[in-house]
């Protein structure tokens, strides 16, 4: 199931490699975020890439354009397949990221984070954004694509309007996927969620799933269940 990416939100290299070894061939790649990267560093990214895994490095780069461009180049040299920048960094930063990736021998996909899936309308207002959440997501998504990024990261709940606005080309990477794996509840801070088949039907290019797989008693069985659930949609 190439569209299914597993978030390796664990504490150590050993845990990450154990999961990768068991899930390889069933899922399409692995996400490494701030928690694991801070603990284990770039060597883990390179190690998994050397094994042939597609690595989605989710560090949400957000800095001045030159700093972000150098970070993108460094990530690409590790063998990263896809990485995130934060769309709030603005057009100059986003364009610099896209240009840096494009100049590499093996360019990684660069996708822009719009509004975190932990946000709802009230939280968005608390950080000073007065427009509706959906409008904010669409505006930042359009900025990302206009700046040369390969796509965006957005919650399942915004997929329909985003596909209508952006068309079929840009990648949409979708966290906040729930359902399809028995025995694991969604007890976390994701608020804008959807099931796997529904998200793909609505226009997601890739699904990112963490707890429902990695916290399951049998992660492989959970991944297989979610992969099967993805096939039930009407795409």
Catalytic residues: 60
User: Tokens in use for 173?
Assistant: 């990477």
What does DSSP say about strands 55-61 and 171-174: parallel, antiparallel, or unpaired? unpaired
Neighbours of 93 (CB within 10 A): 24
DSSP class of residue 166 equals H
Q: How far apart are CA 41 and CA 66, in angstroms?
A: 22
Q: Which residue in this structure is represented by tokens 């900025």?
A: 143
DSSP string computed for 38-89? HHH-HHHHHHHHHTT--EEEEEEE-S-HHHHHHHHHHHHHTT-SEEEEEGGG
**Phi/psi of residue 177, each to 5°?**
-90, 130
Q: Which residue in this structure is represented by tokens 């975190």?
A: 116
Q: Cβ distance 165 to 142 under 8 Å? A: yes
Burial 163-183 (b: 16+ CB within 10 A, else e): eeebeeebbbbbbbbbbbbee
Partner residues linked to 7 by β-bridges: 31
Partner residues linked to 61 by β-bridges: 85
């Amino acid at each position: 199931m190439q569209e299914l990416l597993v978030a390796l939100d664990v504490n150590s290299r050993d845990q990450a490699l154990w999961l990768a070894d068991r899930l390889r061939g069933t899922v399409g790649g692995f996400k490494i975020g701030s928690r694991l990267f801070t603990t284990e560093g770039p060597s883990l990214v390179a190690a998994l890439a050397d094994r042939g895994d597609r690595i989605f490095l989710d560090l949400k780069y957000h800095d001045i354009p030159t700093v972000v461009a150098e970070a993108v180049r460094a990530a690409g040299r590790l063998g990263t397949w896809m990485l995130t920048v934060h769309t709030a960094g603005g057009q100059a930063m986003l364009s610099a990221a896209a240009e840096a990736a494009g100049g590499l021998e093996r360019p990684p996909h660069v996708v822009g984070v719009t509004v975190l899936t932990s946000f709802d309308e009230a939280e968005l207002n608390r950080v000073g954004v007065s427009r509706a959440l959906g409008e904010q997501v669409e505006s930042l998504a359009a900025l990302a694509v206009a700046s040369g990024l390969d796509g965006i990261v957005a919650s399942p709940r915004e997929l329909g309007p985003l596909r209508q606005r952006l068309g079929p080309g840009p990648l949409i990477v979708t966290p906040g996927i729930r359902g399809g794996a028995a025995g694991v509840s969604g007890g976390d801070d994701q608020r804008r969620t959807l099931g796997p088949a529904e998200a793909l039907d609505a226009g997601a290019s890739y699904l990112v799933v963490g707890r429902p797989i990695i916290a399951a008693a049998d992660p492989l069985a959970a991944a297989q269940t979610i992969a099967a659930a993805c096939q039930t949609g009407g795409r």
